[in-house]
Amino acid sequence: MKSVEKNKLINALIYPVLLVAIINIVHLLQYTLQLNWQQFGIFPLRLKNLRGIIFSVFIHGDFNHLFNNSIPLLILGTALFYFYKEVALKITVWIVLMTGFWTWISAREAYHIGASGLVYGLFSFLMLSGFIRMNKQLIALSFFVVLIYGGMVWGIFPIKLNISYESHFWGFFSGAILAFYYRKHGPQKKVYDWEDEDDNEDENQYWKLDQNKNKEIQITYHYKSKENDL
């Protein structure tokens, strides 16, 4: 791996690793101290639980829940910061805020905790953004994401009622909106030289050229007056 690509990968790992580390530390503290912090999650339409829009991402029910979110967060988060570094942090924050708020507005009356909404948002953004931008490298990334995590899409449906399918749905929806909104930011479709010609070239140039040529042609008429016979 070239040193430039290596540094790019290392930089892309910083935020995802930091986020996953904090999430794991929070759960280890909760487990070690035998605490239950679910009250800091999202409880729909309860004002004090608006705080859950932020805090719920860091709270998990058990180690299985934690593991199922940590690995995708690390992989998808690194992909986001590697390929979309210019807008990656904004996208992450917006997914959290949009998913959390819409879950607070519309979900069932229960505590909704975990980073799965963020995971679904990252999945949706990475899956759709490549096709929207029509960039070959990003399309390949989209196919990779579908291949690895395509089965996640079933999580947006109420198949298991003990799972917050609402946060999954709103996370997926948020990622899709952001993929479209930020379509002009970051890597774009490669434009080849033959595609970069001036399409706005005056279509009448040919005729103008002919007219100019005609202007350059001067016709001189020589005439002789008729002499009258005397």
Q: What CATH number is given to the structural domain containing 38?
A: 1.20.1540.10
Task: Give how many domains the chain has, as a whole number.
Answer: 1
Helix axes 136-149, 116-133, angle to 10 degrees: 140
Residue 225 resides in a domain:
no
Residue 222 resides in a domain:
no
Give CA–CA dist 179/192, Å, rounded: 24
Residue 197 resides in a domain:
no
Say what the pLDDT of residue 214 is.
54
With a cut of 50, list the residues of the chain below it in pLDDT.
194, 206, 219-223, 228-230
Q: How many CB atoms lie within 10 A of CB 4?
A: 8
Radius of gyration of the chain (CA): 31
158-214 residue pLDDT tens: 988 889 999 999 999 999 999 999 998 877 666 555 455 555 555 555 455 555 555
β-pair partners for 112: 42
Residue 229 resides in a domain:
no
How does DSSP assign 147-213, residue by residue?
Answer: HHHGGGGGGGSSSSTTS-HHHHHHHHHHHHHHHHHTTTSSS-PPPPGGG-S-TT--TTHHHHHHHHH
**127-100-152-74 Cα dihedral, nearest 10 degrees:** 70
Which range marks the domain in which residue 96 is found?
3-181
Let me know: does 143 contact 131? Beta carbons within 8 Å: no
Say what the pLDDT of residue 230 is.
41
Residue 153 resides in a domain:
yes
Residue 212 resides in a domain:
no
Say what the pLDDT of residue 98 is.
98
Residue 49 resides in a domain:
yes
Residue 17 resides in a domain:
yes
Say what the pLDDT of residue 223 is.
46
